[in-house]
Amino acid sequence: MFNNFYPLLITQERKPTSSSFLMRYFPFLILISKSLKYGMHEWALAQAVIKSTIALSDEKGIKSVGKIILLIGELQNIDMEIFDFALKELSKGTVLENTPITYKKEEAVLTCNRCGYTWPYDESFTKLSEEEKEAIHFIPETLHIYIHCPECGSVDFDVKKGRGIFIEDVD
Ligand SMILES: [Zn+2]
């Protein structure tokens, strides 16, 4: 097994840049990402949403919840099918059972840490190649390799909006 790995490591030392490292190990990273995606993450998020929604409806004095609107960040790595299933399963036996859930996409916004420029993520994303788009889809962190500030070219930017899941409304 070590014999198989050894040549790979040597090659990696000769090409030290982060993007070539990433491209070399990309199939492995996808594998890791897919095994992580077994659903634990989605179930944990669904559990948090159910808990917060019940707390919110208690706070608002709502006895029977008519609808839930969730805002899903464009860059939130989530399998919507598993998430939706988890929400339905976890709401059984609670006040949220059979409550229709609407999902809305929250557009991502980036802000450059060097020059302060703020721009919509979509503006950069549409200019990427298919491979780059796919890389970001599987591993959202790779966004800092492929996307640069349109003003100053820096890769040091923050995601201001578009990550996370928010309860937009409950009634
Ligand atoms: Zn900038």
In one-letter notation, the amino acid at residue 101 is I
Decide if domain 37-170 falls under CATH 2.170.150.20: no
Dist. CA 151 → ligand 1 center (Å) = 5
Is the model's pTM score more than 0.85?
A: no
- Evaluate if residue 114 carries a pLDDT over 60: yes
Looking at residues 79-83, what average pLDDT do you find? 92
* 27 Cα to the center of ligand 1, angstroms: 31
Ion ligand 1 nearby residues (CB, 5 A): 112, 114-115, 117, 149, 151-152, 154
Residue 53 identity (one-letter amino acid)? T
The single-letter code of the amino acid at 78 is I
pLDDT digits (tens, 9 = 90+) for 17-61: 455 555 555 555 554 454 444 567 899 999 999 999 998 888 888
CA 124/CA 17 separation, integer angstroms: 22
139 CA from centroid of ligand 1 (Å): 23
Region(s) of the chain under CATH 3.30.2320.80: 37-170
Cα(24) to ligand 1 centroid in Å equals 29
C-alpha of residue 119 to centroid of ligand 1, in Å: 10
